Structure 1
Amino acid sequence: MTDYAQYAATQHPAVAPDVPDLETRATGQAADLRLWLRMLSCCTLIENEVRSRLRTEFSTTLPRFDLMSQLTHAPKGLKMSELSRLMMVTNGNITGITDQLEKDGLVERMKDDSDRRSSLIRLTPKGKRYHRRMQRAHETWIETLLGGLAPTSRNTLFDLLGDLKQSTYARLPAV
């Protein structure tokens, strides 16, 4: 039994180790669709595990972690619309997450001197400390989850996904 099969059998009993995954079973499908399914399943596996660990170890959600991560790159703060654009979610989603984080004392709203109608959101000192702890754990989780790949395979995959990203951007319709 492979390491993945052992892990799947113990952690995710619904995944039978001797049954091929969806993208392997999709032999009648186009190679591009099978590749898309493989990438999606990998991302979903990792994202679900990160969500679970954030919930269990920090009593938080991935969207809260993501919003705080965006704010670490903007010490002076960001407008709600900027957060919405960076996180690719609606302003309403950002407002709800921000309200919760503010209630917990992790972010604060400040008036924007350049636009009195807007507020800037930034991490509080408590939010910075909390996020640093989560960030360190998150990095360890990702290293653990991807640690089964040989360094050469990891580098090759990184380069190939970079090629895919550029190729995809080139094929997107002009906006």
Structure 2
Amino acid sequence: MNDSSVALDYRASDAKQRDSVRLWLRLLTCTRIIEKQVKRRFADQYDITLPRFDVMAALDRHPEGMTMGQLSQALLVSNGNVTGVVQALVRDGYVGVAPSPTDGRSSIVRLTEQGRHCFAGLAEAHQDWIDAMLGGLGHDRQTTLYELLGTLKDTLAAQNGKG
């Protein structure tokens, strides 16, 4: 192999790496744009934060309730972050906290009836916003993108020993 072919191989490899970084940056940018719009709409239309919505969504998926540790794990945030959000939701009457019947050191957090009703409206609005933001892709492209991102997620999980 001569020097010019080595240089061409390096540039081709470098271009592929730049494409990967460009792709990652595009994913990040799209995520941030969508998140910013959703945050603003929740604040403007419902006077609620995205973290509160996220906690309510997790609790909606677990009607039996969750411990603070389970919530932290599900949301990929610290116990401290969850505690503050849960306390605010308790003050608003959207969640209740009760001692665990099986572990005296833990508490179980559940949506209240008011919380379930509130979340149902928030979830419907959230779905409508996301539908509108992604609607320009069309159903087939959304399906393809979903499948590609699933493959990426599986690859990343395998690289981290979670696959």
TM-score by length of 2: 0.86
Quote how far apart the aligned CAs of 1:172 are: 1.9
Q: List aligned pairs for 1:67-106, cutoff 5 A.
A: 67-106=55-94
Which of 1 and 2 has greater Rg? 2
Question: Secondary structure in 2 aligned to 1:122?
Answer: strand
Q: 1:24 aligns to what?
A: none
Q: 1:172 aligns to what?
A: 160
Q: 1:144 aligns to what?
A: 132
Structure 1 outlier segments of 4+, above 6 Å: none
Taking only aligned residues, the RMSD between alpha carbons, in angstroms, comes to 1.5
Counterpart of 2:70, as a letter, is E
Unmatched 5+ residue regions in structure 1?
A: 1-26
Which deviations, in whole Å up to 9, do the C-alpha atoms of 1:113-141 show, x marking residues without a partner? Answer: 10112110001101110000000000000
Q: Distance in 2 between matches of 1:58 and 1:115?
A: 36
Which deviations, in whole Å up to 9, do the C-alpha atoms of 1:138-170 show, x marking residues without a partner? Answer: 000000000011222111111111111112222
Q: 1:30 aligns to what?
A: 18
Quote how far apart the aligned CAs of 1:29 are: 6.5
How many residues align? The count is 148
Q: Distance in 1 between matches of 2:23 and 2:39?
A: 24
Q: Distance in 2 between matches of 1:77 and 1:87?
A: 14
Identity %: 40
Q: List aligned pairs for 1:6-85, cutoff 5 A.
A: 30-85=18-73
Q: Tell me which of the two structures has the higher relative contact order, counting C-alpha pairs closer than 8 angstroms and 6 or more residues apart.
A: 2
Q: Distance in 2 between matches of 1:101 and 1:81?
A: 17
Which deviations, in whole Å up to 9, do the C-alpha atoms of 1:79-107 show, x marking residues without a partner? Answer: 00000010011101111001100011111
Q: Distance in 1 between matches of 2:88 and 2:139?
A: 40
Counterpart of 2:154, as a letter, is Q
Of 125, 133, 143, the match for 1:155: 143
Instruction: Identify the structure with the greater helix proportion.
Output: 2
Unmatched 5+ residue regions in structure 2?
A: 1-14
Q: Distance in 2 between matches of 1:161 and 1:150?
A: 16
Q: 1:112 aligns to what?
A: 100
